[in-house]
Amino acid sequence: MIGKSALRTLVNNGAKIGVRFGGARFKHTLPELAYGYDELEPVLSKKLMMLHHDKHHRAYVTNLNNSIEQMKTLLDSSAALTGKQEGVSGDKNKLESLRNEILANDKKLAELQRIVGFNAGGHINHSLMWDTIKPTKNGGGDEGNEISASLSKQISRDFGGIDNLKKLLVGKSMGLMGSGWGWLVFDYNNKSLGVMTTANQDTVGAAGNYEALFGIDAWEHAYYVDYNNVKLDFYQNIWKIVNWKKISETYEKAMSK
């Protein structure tokens, strides 16, 4: 759970999601893609990309902003009610009424906390995914030329090679019950790579001291338009558009911390 002071910081200033921002009334925005909706074909069709980015991801952003605004209103209300308590300290009925209103706000805030966490996770996870895929014509899937020497070496050390990494991550993703994500992560604790899954829109950072390097979206909306229920084909084909250059950059930054 997030404390009230952390919630107030969140609703007043926004949450850092891989980008810099300023201003007291920051609003999260749908990130622009570095490629056209049709440029990931045939791995991902234009129709799927339009639905995934402009509909599903946009919904996470919209719901996140709306929920943060609702939280701000409730926090301001609770602060005002708390301030009124001192003025009615001698009136038990008014004092009880104020406290009941504050408790009602707290219950609403707890539910909004859950909604904000879910939509912020969806925004974070999708933003990372768009950055770690790119058209084949721009080097997507070309681990031979795009992956850094140090990351290639660590993959060999931790997985026995890139083919084994792919099999492990695909296997992990296939094992997910329901919706979620499959991840290639950097473990800060032991400076190693690993594969893991998160449920729904939970983030890698919430699971431990990890840095997300690459994520496979295991929600049906990520593949059903193109692959129907054969999600294994989707998990295997996604490697054809992986942005190894971006993954390598994130890895190098994580290693240097």
* 142 annotated ligand binder: no
Of residues 178, 56, 226, the one with CA closest to residue 125: 56
Tell me what percent of the residues of the chain surpass a pLDDT of 90.
Answer: 69
pLDDT at 25: 54
Q: Tell me which range, 16-20, 89-93, 95-99, 171-175, is most confidently predicted by mean pLDDT.
A: 171-175
Conformation bin of residue 23: beta by default, left when phi > 0, alpha when psi is -120 to 50: left
pTM score, two decimals? 0.85
* 221 annotated ligand binder: yes
pLDDT at 48: 98
Residue with tokens 């300023």: 22
As a CATH number, domain 44-131 is 1.10.287.990
CATH number (3.40.50.10470, 3.40.50.970, 3.20.190.10, 3.55.40.20) of 136-256 reads: 3.55.40.20
Cβ-based neighbours of 48, under 8 Å, separated by 6 or more = 222, 223, 225, 226
Of residues 163, 148, 167, 161, the one with CA closest to residue 213: 148
Per-residue pLDDT, averaged over 114-136, amounts to: 96
Residue 138 gets which letter from DSSP? Answer: G
Domains 44-131 and 136-256 share a fold: no
Alpha helices in the chain (DSSP H): 4-13, 46-49, 58-85, 92-131, 143-146, 149-159, 162-174, 204-207, 224-227, 231-237, 244-256
Cβ-based neighbours of 213, under 8 Å, separated by 6 or more = 132, 183, 184, 185, 186, 193, 247, 250, 251, 254
Q: For 21-70, how does the pLDDT look when each residue is reduced to its tens digit (9 = 90+)? A: 333 456 899 999 999 999 999 999 999 999 999 999 999 999 999 999 88
| Consecutive H or E run containing 29 | none
* 126 annotated ligand binder: yes
Cβ-based neighbours of 101, under 8 Å, separated by 6 or more = 77, 81
Of residues 126, 215, 121, 123, the one with CA closest to residue 173: 215
Side chain identity at residue 162, one-letter code: I
Domain boundaries, the chain: 44-131, 136-256
Between CA 116 and CA 124, with CA 119 as vertex, the angle to 5 degrees is: 115
Q: For 106-121, how does the pLDDT look when each residue is reduced to its tens digit (9 = 90+)? A: 888 888 889 999 999 9
User: Residue 86 pLDDT > 50, yes or no?
Assistant: yes
Cβ-based neighbours of 109, under 8 Å, separated by 6 or more = 4, 7, 71, 74, 75, 78
Whole-angstrom Cα distance, residue 178 to residue 218? 8
* 52 annotated ligand binder: yes
